[in-house]
Amino acid sequence: MSIPKKLQPKKQKNKKIVILGGGTGSFTVLSGLKHYPVDLTAVVTMADDGGSTGRLRDEFGVLPPGDLRQCLVALSRADLVMRKLFNYRFEKGELAGHSFGNIFISTLEQVTGSLDRALDVAGEVLNIRGRVVPVTLTKVDLVAELMNGKVLHGESALSDYQLVSRFGIKKIYLTPKAKANPKAIVAIKEADLIIVGPGNLYASLIPNFLVQGVGAAFVRSKAKKIYIANLMNKHGHTDDFFVSDYVRVLESTIGKKDVFDAVIYNTKKPGTGLIRKYADEGEPVVCGPECAKGNFALIGANLLADTIAKTIKKDFLRRTLIRHDSDKLAKVIMQLLG
């Protein structure tokens, strides 16, 4: 006997999670969440202009592939060899410093005529579980005007300048003005949960909200909104920042106070020897006295990875070595999803 269709139990749809950011932070969050029954979309900054990505932008006029590649690899269910291939970085010759994945994505963009299409193909090759969406398809540069009158052109220039916190940022914007990728706006609108961070505040997180329409879509979305605080402050940029300072700067950029429903932060301090060894990265981020006053749920947990991140040969970019544990982070996030 067949059961009438209207009486059959409805299949539960997976909850939709959007991760807004870029770089190592998005890679870590996606690596943990891909093991859960959720629909994942990574909305990725397009302001990157350093290292291999910057060289490809300059030489071929393509959109920046580096952060997109990291997200693709994080979501990949392909063999380990394929994931290693996309992260492989050439050590010799004219290709020294380039990762294979960056070249592959940039080549696909030129062959298909569209970065969106290129990511679809790369996603099929890597058998990803989810989607990777550029926040904009406009070629942009990040510009920061400091209070002392100095103007920093480009994300790498801003990241490398060690006196940002001393003088303060007067204005930060994208040039030319960037229109949001419609796919990014739809993903934000339809999300059940939106995660911002972790990641470089000025280089990876804020550029997403500088794209026209993204901040407004974020505010209007009925999704639960979460900010994941960094483990370490960045010397010369966020010196002495508490978790609440990151929230304050993000809210100022988004254009609305009390926009986050929850803030996740790490409670496990790295060992004294490790902090001393990598003191040039910055000091650990702590909650601070203002955190408890925020209109958001405050969730502290041990989120620290037990091992130190390894550096890749011929990677010309300086990367944070003390990182979140992707599995620990995913467990906390899934508890909030409900």
Residue 6 lies in a domain: no
Which residue type, as a one-letter code, is found at position 102? N
Close Cβ partners of 78 (under 8 Å, ≥ 6 residues apart) = 125, 126, 127
Burial class (CB in 10 A: 0-12, 13-18, 19+), 79: exposed
The alpha carbon of 104 is separated from its chain's Cα centroid by a whole number of angstroms, namely: 21
Q: Would residue 5 count as lying in a domain?
A: no
Spatial separation of the C-alpha atoms in residues 157 and 196, rounded to whole Å = 23
- 8 A C-beta contact, residue 145 and residue 169: yes
Rounded Cα distance, 67 and 47, in Å: 10
Is 247 in contact with 263 (CB distance < 8 Å)? yes
Characterize the bridge pairing of strands 131-134 and 15-21: unpaired
Contact between 181 and 135 under an 8 Å Cβ cutoff? The reply is yes
Strands 131-134 and 262-266: unpaired
**In total, how many domains does the chain have?**
1
SS3 content of the chain, % helix, strand, coil (to 5): 40, 20, 40
* Token pair belonging to 291: 């955190």
Is 154 among the domain residues?
yes
Range of the domain at 158: 13-337
Distance CA 333, CA 223 (A): 14
Q: pLDDT at position 319, please?
A: 47
SS3 224: strand
DSSP 80-135: HHHHHHHH-B--SGGGTT-BHHHHHHHHHHHHHS-HHHHHHHHHHHHTBSSEEEES
Helix (H) or strand (E) holding 77, with range, is none
CATH (domain of 85): 3.40.50.10680
- Walking along the chain (338 residues) 10 residues at a time, the average pLDDT comes out as 52 89 94 97 95 88 94 94 92 90 96 95 96 97 96 94 94 96 98 97 96 98 97 93 96 96 93 74 84 86 79 46 91 92
Domain contains 4? no
Q: Do residues 19 and 41 touch, judged by C-beta distance below 8 A?
A: yes
- Inside any domain, residue 1: no
Q: What is the Cα gyration radius of the chain?
A: 20
pTM of the model: 0.91
Which pLDDT belongs to residue 29?
97
User: Rounded to 5 degrees, what angle do the CA atoms 176, 135, 261 make?
Assistant: 120
Residue 96, Cα to own-chain centre: how many angstroms?
A: 25
The pLDDT value given to residue 1:
44
The number of angstroms, rounded, from the C-alpha of 119 to the middle of its chain's C-alpha atoms is: 17
State which H helix or E strand residue 5 sits in: none
128 found inside a domain: yes
Q: Is residue 8 part of a domain?
A: no
Q: Which of 319, 318, 329, 312 is nearest to 86 (CA)?
A: 312
Q: Tell me what pLDDT residue 84 has.
A: 92
**Would you say residue 3 lies in a domain?**
no
Residue 36 neighbours by CB under 8 Å, 6+ apart: 330, 334
